[in-house]
Amino acid sequence: DTEVTQTPKHLVMGMTNKKSLKCEQHMGHRAMYWYKQKAKKPPELMFVYSYEKLSINESVPSRFSPECPNSSLLNLHLHALQPEDSALYLCASSHEAGTGIYGYTFGSGTRLTVV
């Protein structure tokens, strides 16, 4: 199994809603990542989990809350988002955080629209 699975594929939420994005991988990877991507821009790193512990938080607003329940799962909890948070949210995984030659495997992403 060489996939990273993200759900849902599309999400529309109001500014007062609470929702969660989910990501799952069964490749035995020990590092998982959340990226945010706006149109015509490269992916922008949000969080890095290494061995189920948060190792990097790129000064992301607290309305985004990551969670890594186990080595295969990564969640992103959303609360009180703003319309400018609308973007493609990408989950990725890799063998180890930052090392190795194999790069990251990306999920298909969640297209989030905040209304």
Partner 1 sequence: QKEVEQNSGPLSVPEGAIASLNCTYSDRGSQSFFWYRQYSGKSPELIMFIYSNGDKEDGRFTAQLNKASQYVSLLIRDSQPSDSATYLCAGLSGNTPLVFGKGTRLSVIA
Could you say which of 32, 74, 97, 114 contacts partner 1 (CB under 8 A)?
Answer: 97
Q: How far apart are CA 4 and CA 16, in angstroms?
A: 29
Q: Is 57 in the site for partner 1 (CB under 8 A)?
A: no
Of the chain, the end-to-end C-alpha distance in Å amounts to: 36
Q: Is 101 in the site for partner 1 (CB under 8 A)?
A: yes
Q: How far apart are CA 18 and CA 60, in angstroms?
A: 17
Instruction: Return the number of the residue (17 or 106) whose C-beta is nearest partner 1.
Output: 106
Instruction: Return the number of the residue (11 or 90) whose C-beta is nearest partner 1.
Output: 90
How many CB atoms within 10 Å of residue 103? 9
What binding mask, one character per residue, do residues 5-34 give for partner 1 by CB under 8 A, x or -?
----------------------------x-
Q: Checking phi first, is residue 94 left (phi over 0); if not, alpha (psi -120 to 50) or beta? A: beta
How many CB atoms within 10 Å of residue 15? 13
- Interface stretch with partner 1, choices 17-25, 68-76, 79-87, 90-98 (CB under 8 A): 90-98
Q: Is 98 in the site for partner 1 (CB under 8 A)?
A: yes
Q: How far apart are CA 89 and CA 53, in angstroms?
A: 20
Q: By rule CB under 8 A, what count of residues binds partner 1? A: 23
Binding site for partner 1 (CB under 8 A): 33, 41-43, 45, 48, 56, 88, 90, 97-109, 111
